[in-house]
A = this chain, B = another copy of it.
Amino acid sequence: MKAIGVTIDGDEPELLDVPRPEPAPGEALVRTLRVGVDGTDHEVISGAHGGYPAGEEYMVLGHEAVGVVEDGNGSGLEAGDVVVPTVRRKPNGETNEYFRRGEPDMAPEGEYVERGIVGGHGFMAEYFTSPADSLVPVPENLAEYGMLVEPISISEKAFDHAFATREPFDWRPESACVLGNGSLGLMTLWMLGERFDRTYCVGRRSRPDPTLDIIDDLGATYVDSRETPVDEIPAAHEPIDYIYEATGFAPHAIQTVHAIAPNGVGSLLGIPESWEFEVDGGDLHKELVLHNKCLIGTVNSHVTEFEDAVDTLEEMPDWLLEELLTTVATPENVGPAFEDGDDQIKAVVEFDSL
């Protein structure tokens, strides 16, 4: 079957001919519809992230997928069910406490593989197999955008964890800010617009720009970090009750502490490389303490957060989904899905349709 992957010697995505997988007991065979591309895929391709499946010379890409069950294989899923796969799987098929609890997203390194990222083939192929309990049903009418469930689930988890930190007191937040104007940032900005009175989005782009148009259309305020660094947002606009970082720009972790309002919380989601720089560690520490602030990192997500993401996707306006999806590439001409220009917001590779 056709698959898009990287080979050990390669440095770009290639169309590969690989064996069609056979579902093991408990697994379903899924016919792939669409697979999204994100920054992690670019890191996998450049070798900055991930690792090949054991003993393999290539890895199939893709961790944001939607497909339709081809063969339920006695797993409880029926042929024709539209499903989205979660990403983490048991390492070497051996379970552990995190998988037993249904929380593989909380497993430390070494206790999981991630399909299409580290140690496991991804979903960017005509078919994939998956344990049925790692497949989340999606209504048929969402099939076209189902590959967005995975990234949305990342924000569902970030919100769950961040807002739990404010549960011990009567938190009455009004403002939220997303750092980063990629597709995840923009979807998250919409999600925050449903929860907060005023939203902001930080980027480094000049108008005209399609992402800045979306920020405007979402009723959010665009903050150009070349003019207003994140820690100057309180002075330029207002202190922010909730900040969601999706840039992977290391200084943003520190600046977030200064940009959040008293009793606020900052979610970190980016994964920067090592980078030493000067920080006022005393001010950082004092600011966290004296204003009851919290900085919380989250990674990945699990089934219940995928389920929440399905609900969120269902509520997202059509215009937003249409504007986000800038490229639908074919496996035979996959290049445009991996281009990363300012016109690109979200690209997918389409293998089939319902």
- Give chain A's interface residues, CB within 8 Å of chain B: 97, 101, 103, 105-106, 108-109, 157, 160-161, 164-165, 167-170, 172, 248, 250-254, 262-263, 268-299
Task: Quote the shortest CB–CB distance from A106 to chain B (angstroms).
Answer: 5
Which residues of B sit under 8 angstroms from A290, Cβ to Cβ?
109, 271, 297, 299
Please determine whether B280 and A274 come into contact, CB atoms closer than 8 angstroms: yes
Please determine whether A277 and B278 come into contact, CB atoms closer than 8 angstroms: yes
Using A274-B280, A279-B281, A285-B253 as known contacts, say yes or no to A291 and B108 having CB atoms under 8 A apart: yes
Please determine whether A161 and B285 come into contact, CB atoms closer than 8 angstroms: no
Using A165-B164, A294-B297 as known contacts, say yes or no to A289 and B277 having CB atoms under 8 A apart: no
Please determine whether A289 and B270 come into contact, CB atoms closer than 8 angstroms: yes
Using A160-B168, A290-B299 as known contacts, say yes or no to A281 and B285 having CB atoms under 8 A apart: no
Task: Classify the secondary structure of A's interface with B.
Answer: mixed
Please determine whether A285 and B299 come into contact, CB atoms closer than 8 angstroms: no
Which residues of B sit under 8 angstroms from A271, Cβ to Cβ?
285-286, 289-290
Task: Quote the shortest CB–CB distance from A260 to chain B (angstroms).
Answer: 11
Please determine whether A285 and B250 come into contact, CB atoms closer than 8 angstroms: yes
Which residues of B sit under 8 angstroms from A109, Cβ to Cβ?
262, 290-291
